[in-house]
Amino acid sequence: MQPEERLFRSEWGRLVTALTRIFGLDNLAIAEDVVQDVFCRAVEVWKLRGVPENPSAWLMTSARNRAIDLLRRERKARSLVPELRRQFESEWTLVPTVAQFFTSGVMEDDQLRMMFSCCDPALAAQTQVGLILNLLCGFSVAEIANAFLTKYKAMEKRIARGKAALADSKTLFDFDDEELPVRLDAVHRAVYLLFNEGYHSSSAPAAVRMELCREAMRLGRLISGNAQLATAQTYALCALMWLSAARVPGRMDAAGELLAFADQDRTLWDRQLIAEGTAFLERSAFGPEASTYHWEAAIACLHARTPDWRDTDWGKLVWLYDQLLQVNSSPVVALNRAIAVGYRDGPRLGIEAIEAIPHGGRLERYPFLPAALGEFELAAGRPQAARSHFERALSLARTPLEQRFLERRVLAAAERSAQSEIVDGVVGANERAG
Amino acid sequence: MSEFIYLYRGGGRPESPEDGERVMQAWMTWLQDLAAKGHMKDRGQPLEGEGRVVRGSNGSISDGPFAEAKDLVGGYSVIEAADLDQAAQLARGCPIFERGGVVEVRPVMKM
């Protein structure tokens, strides 16, 4: 039997969390060591003997037994989680107490509580995401550094600082805490960051990016499955992730090259994800205010439910971007709005709208701004202007993939420009002849 | 066909769950390939790192490990091959080499 895909990754977080509940947040390192050990043994045994029928149960039993061994040995030496010490001291209660932390409802809740612990407001958002990836998603420090294009040493320091902060609180975050709403916002932001890093990152390898998206979605599902945490924003965030992920399969052609949005094969989009995402979006429509997640999800939904690019409701799209800009005034959002204006009102007005965006900041070196200008110049019949925009975009390309994509656009503009010269030449000759 | 034992020495620990999954996948693919070609007699067993060493006429017993971690036998398999050369050739695809381990190939003595 082949191991289930990503089995180890998702099991890692479940086991680390369950063991942290037992040993306390200040003994996180013990929990991690135990899980590391369990995994190494699993690899040693399974690589020769094959994966067992229920690998997840095998790992859980193994982790539980190691925890019990450890508690027996450390009973006197260490003061573990104070409120559990009495249960751990007696042989009668030790085994059932430990076992209870490995039952399914409890494990899901504890993972959520771990997520909330990681989103300590004292920590930078990037550190929160790093901790979540490390503790709940089983990413090594090297893998996180790779995903975020950070130096290994810097990421190692950041995660160590994060873990030190966690240790101060000793026990996992409690949902009765009055800080819950604030933390929930931070949890949403962390999951959103995680997803975007996977979905939009220009740097990380494609496989890593998909992995980040998958993990963000797994955590999103976990949050939305908890009655106390399933707020309108939670549903909107899930809708946004599902409806975006549904469109990943069309983003590249058979040769693995980037495709322009208009050229994507929409039949490749994942219908099930679209259906689930739409259901999330419907459930998100309650509460007093629409968040950035709501509007982004609505935009993703508009695309996902338009089978042909040419049928896009550009007017509605511009309106949605206007709403989004009210709650999220990012320059990239402004650029996307301007592009929608161009498709609604024609290339000339699109160019004007792009030029009207306040300059500076991230957009200054964003290759898809000149690329958008190039597309509209091309549509307006000025291939030479288009070509120089595409060349500018090409000079800003951040990855080989973007570079090859923009090279093809430069070439397309150059060809069009050559054709129009021939046409001009023929027209000119005819005029002279006439 | 003759029998050979592969002794897997060293090879290190996986660095992350993802890494562990890669290691395992590589091993399973390699072993399945050997089995498919009719060379696998017994997939063998993994061995614990700890143990005891018993030596001398007085039967003194000491704790393992017996060698440095990089030389420790972590498991074995039983292989069938035409001769030692072929058995050694077949071992070349073993994923243990990616982690700095070695495969010791030993013919089983024929009676």
Residue pLDDT tens, chain A, 434 long: 344 457 788 899 999 999 999 988 988 999 999 999 999 999 999 999 989 999 999 999 999 999 999 888 877 555 566 677 777 877 888 888 889 999 888 999 999 999 999 999 999 998 999 999 999 998 889 888 887 778 899 999 999 999 999 998 888 898 888 889 889 999 999 999 899 888 887 666 777 788 889 999 999 999 999 999 999 999 999 999 999 999 988 888 888 888 888 889 999 999 999 999 999 999 999 887 899 999 999 999 999 999 999 999 999 999 999 999 999 888 889 999 999 999 999 999 999 999 999 866 678 888 999 999 999 999 999 999 999 999 999 999 988 888 999 999 999 999 988 887 766 666 555 555 54
Out of B13, B17, B46, the one facing A12 most closely (by C-beta) is: B17
Residue B64 has pLDDT above 80, yes or no: no
CA B79 to chain centre: 11
> How many CB pairs lie under 8 A apart between chains A and B?
68
Q: Which DSSP helix (H) or strand (E) runs through B79? A: strand B73-81
CA nearest A217: which of A292, A155, A280, A159? Answer: A280
Tracing tokens 């067992």 back to the chain, one arrives at: A52
Of residues A282 and B62, the one with the higher pLDDT is A282
Q: Per the structure block, which two tokens stand in for B109?
A: 């003595």
A8 and B21 in contact by Cβ < 8 A? yes
**What pLDDT score was predicted for residue A423?**
65
Which DSSP state fits A252? B
The whole-angstrom separation of Cα A27 and Cα B66 is 32
Q: What is the CA radius of gyration of chain A?
A: 26
Q: Give the bridge partners for B10, in sequence order.
A: none
A49 and B43 in contact by Cβ < 8 A? yes
**What pLDDT score was predicted for residue A77?**
55
Tracing tokens 């030190």 back to the chain, one arrives at: A164
A40 and B13 in contact by Cβ < 8 A? yes
- Which residues from A are below 8 Å from B14, CB to CB? 39-40, 43
A50 and B75 in contact by Cβ < 8 A? no
Inter-residue contact B95 to B30 (CB < 8 Å)? yes
**What pLDDT score was predicted for residue A203?**
64
B28 and A47 in contact by Cβ < 8 A? yes
How many residues in total does chain B contain?
111
Out of B18, B27, B77, the one facing A9 most closely (by C-beta) is: B18
pLDDT (tens digit, 9 = 90+) per residue, B14-49? 888 888 888 999 999 999 999 999 999 999 999 988
In degrees, rounded to 5, the angle at the alpha carbon of residue B30 between the alpha carbons of residues B29 and B33 is 85
Q: Where are the domains of chain B?
A: 2-107
Q: Does A33 touch chain B (CB under 8 A)?
A: no
pLDDT (tens digit, 9 = 90+) per residue, B66-105? 667 678 899 999 999 999 999 999 999 999 999 889 999 9
**What pLDDT score was predicted for residue A1?**
36
- Which residues from A are below 8 Å from B50, CB to CB? none
A140 and B28 in contact by Cβ < 8 A? no
Assign A406 to helix, strand or coil. helix
**What pLDDT score was predicted for residue A434?**
45
Please tell me the pTM assigned to this model: 0.83
B28 and A11 in contact by Cβ < 8 A? no
Pick the CATH number of B2-107 from 2.40.270.10, 3.30.70.1060, 3.30.559.10, 3.40.50.620: 3.30.70.1060
Neighbour-count burial of A104, counting CB atoms closer than 10 A to its CB (0-12 exposed, 13-18 middle, 19+ buried): exposed
**Within a 10 A sphere around the Cβ of A422, how many other Cβ atoms?**
9
CA nearest A306: which of A339, A315, A195? Answer: A315
Neighbour-count burial of A40, counting CB atoms closer than 10 A to its CB (0-12 exposed, 13-18 middle, 19+ buried): middle
Terminal-residue alpha carbon distance, chain B? 14
B20 and A42 in contact by Cβ < 8 A? yes
CA B90 to chain centre: 13
Out of B13, B15, B24, the one facing A47 most closely (by C-beta) is: B24
* Mutation target vs A (from B13, B15, B19, B21; most A CBs, 10 A cutoff): B21
B17 and A8 in contact by Cβ < 8 A? yes
The whole-angstrom separation of Cα A54 and Cα A246 is 30
Q: Chain A neighbours among B 2-61 (CB < 8 Å)? A: 13-21, 23-25, 27-28, 31, 43-46
Q: Per the structure block, which two tokens stand in for A206?
A: 């494609």
- Scanning every residue of chain A, which has its alpha carbon at the shortest distance from the alpha carbon of B45? A48
**What pLDDT score was predicted for residue A225?**
94
- Scanning every residue of chain B, which has its alpha carbon at the shortest distance from the alpha carbon of A12? B17
How many residues in total does chain A contain?
434
**What pLDDT score was predicted for residue A343?**
96
Q: At what angle do helices A292-304 and A314-327 cross, to 10 degrees?
A: 160
The whole-angstrom separation of Cα A146 and Cα A203 is 9
CA distances from A102 to A9, A33, A293 (A): 17, 17, 34
- Which residues from A are below 8 Å from B46, CB to CB? 44-45, 47-49
- Cβ contacts of A148 within 8 Å, gap of 6 or more: A126, A130, A155, A197, A204
How close A230 gets to chain B, by Cα (Å)?
Answer: 30
Inter-residue contact A328 to A292 (CB < 8 Å)? yes
Inter-residue contact A339 to A372 (CB < 8 Å)? yes
**What pLDDT score was predicted for residue A353?**
95
- Which residues from B are below 8 Å from A134, CB to CB? none
**What pLDDT score was predicted for residue A32?**
93
* Mutation target vs B (from A1, A12, A39, A44; most B CBs, 10 A cutoff): A44
**What pLDDT score was predicted for residue A5?**
54
Which DSSP state fits A266? G
DSSP B8-21: EE-----SSHHHHH
